[in-house]
C-alpha cells in the first residue's frame, strides 16, 4: 500500500497537521515530537508531502525557478552564476522559499521542434510560483512558456513587458572603450560569450544573435573608441576558461594582433591573461586586457574590469517576486570601472595604428 501523510499520522498517533509540520514547519513542534514523527516516517518509507499535490491544494509551491541556458554542471563553476544564486538564496531563505534550477537548451536556433519541446517540458513541469531568467529576450521560448502559465518573471535584461533588474551594459561598454581610447588603443578585439566555436570571428550580421548583454557592451565599446579604430569580435564560447584560452590563442597568433582585448566576462579575460603570459607578453604593457563583473579572480589577476553588483541583483530579483506590491517593476543598478594593472598605454611601436 502507498504510504501517505495520514498513514504516518495514524502510526505515530498524531494528527495529519503534526506530520505536515514535522516536514514543513518544525518550529510548530517540540524537538522530541518531530524526531518521533520523522522516525516513524522513515520506518514506513515516507519521504514527505508531495510538493505538486500540496501546491494544487494551496495554490502556492513556495519555490522560485531559475532558468539556465547552460549545462547545470557548468553553471556551478561560473563565479557570476554563483554570486547571482547567492543573492537569490539570501532573500528566499527569509521566507523559506526554495530554488528550482531549470535547464534550457543554450541555443534555440537550429534545434528541431522536438528538441525545443524537450527543453520546454522542464519549464512546463516545474512546480514554481515564479521565475528569474538571466539574459533572455522577450521572444525566448522559455519566456513565452512562463507567460502562458501566467507565472511572474523577473529578468536581468531590458524588457518592456515585465519586471527586470539590470545594469546599463551599453554605458559600461562605453567606459571600457573610453579607457582604452585614452590609452591610445585603436586595434581592439572583443571576446564575447557565444554559442559559436571559441576563437571564431563573429561577423556584423552574426552579432544580432549574441546575448543581449554582449550586444550592448560591444556597442558601447565601439561608440567610445575613435572612428578610425578597428574592432574585431571573436567568440569566447561558453564563458569558460578553456574556451577563453582558445579565443586568446587565435587572436594572439594573428600577424596583426590587437593591442587590447576586451572580454565580456572576467573568466574569459583571465584566460586571455594566462595565454598572453605564457607567450611572453607583458600584460598591461605589450597587451592590455579588460574583463567584466569584478568577480574575486579579477583582483588576484590584476584585471581592469567593470564591477557590477551581482549578489545584489539576485537579491532584488527575488524580492520583486516575493513582494511585487512593494517593489518597482524596473531597477537599474550602478556599475564602476575598476582600473588595475592589466591595462596600459599602447606600445610605442604600435602608435602608428592600423
- Domain containing 244 — which CATH number? 3.40.50.2300
Please indicate, yes or no, whether the overall pTM of this predicted structure exceeds 0.85.
Answer: no
The residue written with cell numbers 513542534 in the block is 29
Q: How confident is the model at residue 351, as a pLDDT?
A: 63
Task: Please check whether residue 276 is in contact with residue 228, taking contact to mean a CB–CB distance below 8 angstroms.
Answer: no
Q: CB-based contacts of 244: which residues, under 8 Å, 6+ apart?
A: 191, 198, 236, 237, 263, 267, 268, 269, 270, 271, 272
Q: How confident is the model at residue 33, as a pLDDT?
A: 93
Tens-place pLDDT, residues 304-334: 999 999 999 999 999 999 998 889 999 999 9
Tens-place pLDDT, residues 64-83: 999 987 777 777 889 999 99
Q: How confident is the model at residue 115, as a pLDDT?
A: 64
The residue written with cell numbers 543573492 in the block is 87
Same domain, 231 and 322: no
Same domain, 178 and 98: no
Indicate if the pLDDT at residue 37 is higher than 70.
yes
Task: Please check whether residue 152 is in contact with residue 233, taking contact to mean a CB–CB distance below 8 angstroms.
Answer: no
Could you give the percent of the chain with pLDDT greater than 70? 92
Tens-place pLDDT, residues 231-279: 999 999 888 999 999 999 999 998 899 999 999 999 999 999 999 999 9
Same domain, 280 and 213: yes
Mean pLDDT of the chain: 88
Q: How confident is the model at residue 66, as a pLDDT?
A: 93
Domain count, the chain: 3
* CA neighbours closer than 13 Å in the CB half-sphere of residue 288: 28
How many other CB atoms sit within 10 Å of the CB of residue 268?
29
Q: How confident is the model at residue 354, as a pLDDT?
A: 43
Whether 280 maps to a domain, the answer reads yes
Same domain, 133 and 203: no
Same domain, 268 and 176: yes
Same domain, 209 and 342: yes
Q: How confident is the model at residue 56, as a pLDDT?
A: 43
CA–CA separation, 157 and 89 (whole Å): 20
Same domain, 232 and 346: yes
Same domain, 98 and 197: no
Domain interval for residue 177: 169-308+337-350
Indicate if the pLDDT at residue 283 is higher than 50.
yes
Tens-place pLDDT, residues 197-240: 999 999 999 998 888 899 999 999 999 999 999 999 999 988 89
Q: How confident is the model at residue 105, as a pLDDT?
A: 65
Q: How confident is the model at residue 23, as a pLDDT?
A: 78
Tens-place pLDDT, residues 171-197: 999 999 999 999 999 999 999 998 889
Confidence of residue 161 (pLDDT cuts 50, 70, 90): confident
Q: Provide the residue count of the chain.
A: 354
Amino acid at each position: 500500500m502507498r504510504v501517505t501523510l495520514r498513514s504516518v499520522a495514524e502510526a505515530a498517533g498524531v494528527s495529519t497537521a503534526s506530520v505536515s509540520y514535522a516536514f514543513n514547519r518544525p518550529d510548530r513542534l517540540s524537538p522530541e515530537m518531530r524526531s518521533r514523527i520523522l522516525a516513524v516516517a522513515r520506518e514506513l518509507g515516507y519521504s514527505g508531502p508531495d510538493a505538486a499535490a500540496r501546491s494544487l491544494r494551496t495554490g502556492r509551491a513556495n519555490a522560485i525557478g531559475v532558468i539556465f541556458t547552460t549545462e547545470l554542471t557548468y553553471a556551478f563553476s561560473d563565479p557570476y552564476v554563483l554570486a547571482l544564486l547567492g543573492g537569490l538564496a539570501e532573500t528566499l531563505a527569509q521566507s523559506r522559499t526554495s530554488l528550482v534550477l531549470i535547464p534550457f537548451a543554450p541555443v534555440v536556433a537550429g534545434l528541431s521542434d522536438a528538441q525545443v519541446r524537450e527543453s520546454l517540458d522542464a519549464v512546463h513541469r516545474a512546480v514554481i510560483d515564479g521565475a528569474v531568467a538571466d539574459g533572455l529576450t522577450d521572444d525566448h521560448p522559455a519566456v513565452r512558456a512562463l507567460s502562458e502559465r501566467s507565472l511572474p518573471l523577473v529578468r536581468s535584461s531590458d524588457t518592456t513587458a515585465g519586471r527586470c533588474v539590470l545594469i546599463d551594459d551599453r554605458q559600461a561598454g562605453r567606459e571600457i572603450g573610453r579607457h582604452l581610447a585614452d590609452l591610445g588603443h585603436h586595434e581592439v578585439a572583443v571576446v564575447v560569450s557565444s554559442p559559436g566555436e571559441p576563437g571564431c570571428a563573429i561577423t556584423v550580421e552574426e552579432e544580432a544573435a549574441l546575448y543581449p548583454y554582449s550586444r550592448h557592451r560591444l556597442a558601447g565599446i565601439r561608440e567610445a573608441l575613435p572612428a578610425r579604430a578597428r574592432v574585431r569580435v571573436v567568440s569566447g564560447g561558453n564563458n569558460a576558461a578553456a574556451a577563453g584560452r582558445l579565443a586568446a590563442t587565435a587572436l594572439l597568433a594573428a600577424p596583426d594582433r590587437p593591442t587590447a582585448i576586451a572580454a565580456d566576462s572576467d573568466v574569459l579575460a583571465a584566460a586571455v591573461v594566462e595565454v598572453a603570459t605564457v607567450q611572453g607578453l607583458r600584460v598591461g604593457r605589450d597587451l592590455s586586457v579588460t574583463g567584466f563583473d569584478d568577480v574575486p579572480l579579477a583582483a588576484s589577476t590584476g584585471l581592469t574590469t567593470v564591477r557590477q553588483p551581482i549578489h545584489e541583483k539576485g537579491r532584488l530579483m527575488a524580492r520583486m517576486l516575493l513582494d511585487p506590491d512593494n517593489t518597482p517593476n524596473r531597477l537599474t543598478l550602478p556599475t564602476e570601472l575598476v582600473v588595475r594593472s592589466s591595462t596600459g598605454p599602447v606600445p610605442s611601436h604600435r602608435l602608428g595604428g592600423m
